[in-house]
Amino acid sequence: MTTPRLAALLALVAACFAPPSQRDPAFYGTLRVALGPRLDGTGDWTPEQRTAIEEGLVLLEDMGPGIAVTTEADPVLDVAVRPADLDGDCGSFGLGSHLVEVDLACASRVGGMLAVQRAANHEVAHYFLSTRYGFAGHLCAFRGERIDCHPTALAVDFQGRPTDALMRAGLGRVDTVGATTAEAYVPPLAEPSPADPDLALARALAGR
pLDDT tens column, 60-90:
999 999 999 999 999 999 999 999 998 878 8
Kindly state whether residue 1 falls inside one of the protein's structural domains: no
Kindly state whether residue 47 falls inside one of the protein's structural domains: yes
Contact 206, 198 (CB under 8 A): no
**Single pTM value for the model:** 0.84
DSSP code string of 9-69: HHHHHHHHHSPP----HHHH-EEEEEE---TTSS----HHHHHHHHHHHHGGGGGSSEEEE
Kindly state whether residue 42 falls inside one of the protein's structural domains: yes
Write the CATH number for 163: 3.40.390.10
Kindly state whether residue 11 falls inside one of the protein's structural domains: no
Kindly state whether residue 114 falls inside one of the protein's structural domains: yes
- For the purposes of burial, counting CB atoms within 10 Å of the CB of 17, is it exposed (0-12), middle (13-18) or buried (19 or more)? exposed
Angle at 193 between CA 189 and CA 196, to 5 degrees: 95
Contact 45, 53 (CB under 8 A): yes
Kindly state whether residue 16 falls inside one of the protein's structural domains: no
The total number of structural domains that make up the chain: 1
Range of the domain at 197: 21-206
Return the SS3 of 208.
coil
CB-based burial, 157-176: b 16+ in 10 Å, e otherwise = eeeeebbbbbbbbbebebee
**pLDDT tens, residue by residue, 136-192:** 999 998 888 888 999 999 988 888 888 889 998 864 443 444 444 555 544 455 689
Kindly state whether residue 149 falls inside one of the protein's structural domains: yes
